[in-house]
Amino acid sequence: MRIISKIAIVLSVVVLASCNSNTAPNYQFMPNMYESVPYDTYQESGAFRNGKEGQLPVEGTVPRGFEIYEYANTLEDYNLAKANLMSPLDSLNMEADLKTGKELYNIYCAICHGTKGNGKGKLVDREKILGVPSYDDAGRAITEGSVYHVIHYGLNSMGSYANQLNQTERWQVAAYVMQLKKDLEK
């Protein structure tokens, strides 16, 4: 009898120890101070029809300082943007803008386009994504406006970066891309 109880104790300890898994969160002390009363980011919520806290703004809403982009995602407007669209960045502040542009470019663009803009990024080197053009590609003849347009809408295999870069940042990246193009054409 005693042996059986001893075995039971050892077994229960082992079972308890193995229950302590790291796939479930730990106990909380006073959960009502830990859990947010208002909605948390990305939380599920029955208050909205699609069951999510994250909602799109009402259609037509614009953030402060937002400027409506007038070119549509079509071939004609791409060509129009290429020919007509100009950067609103202050040319006197270009050095700072290029610096920010470079930082952003190295985060978002260099992974495919390469830090020099020659289309030889890390993903291209590893043959994950192929056919990334160099910025000095003659058939494309990119301009600041076309770069902005493509960052805004994406083109062919490239997706839109509008949700990662705001309007000013897009212009800063576009300015840096044009500088890379100039360096490549040297």
Binding residues vs another protein (CB under 8 A) = 22-29, 33-37, 41-42, 44, 50, 52, 74-75, 106-108, 111, 119, 122-123, 126-133, 137-140, 156-161, 163-166
Smallest gap, in angstroms, from Cβ of residue 121 to another protein? 10
Q: Nearer Cβ to another protein, position 86 or 166?
A: 166
Smallest gap, in angstroms, from Cβ of residue 27 to another protein? 5
**105 three-class SS:** helix
Smallest gap, in angstroms, from Cβ of residue 11 to another protein? 16
- Apex CA 149: angle with CA 157 and CA 173, to 5°? 90
Q: Give the helix/strand (H/E) hosting 143.
A: none
Smallest gap, in angstroms, from Cβ of residue 57 to another protein? 15
Q: Nearer Cβ to another protein, position 8 or 141?
A: 141
The DSSP line for 21-87 is: -SSSPPP-SSHHHHS-SSPPTT-B-TTSTTSBS--PPPTT---TT-------SSHHHHHHHHHH---
Q: Nearer Cβ to another protein, position 50 or 93?
A: 50
Tokens 């470079």 sit on residue = 102
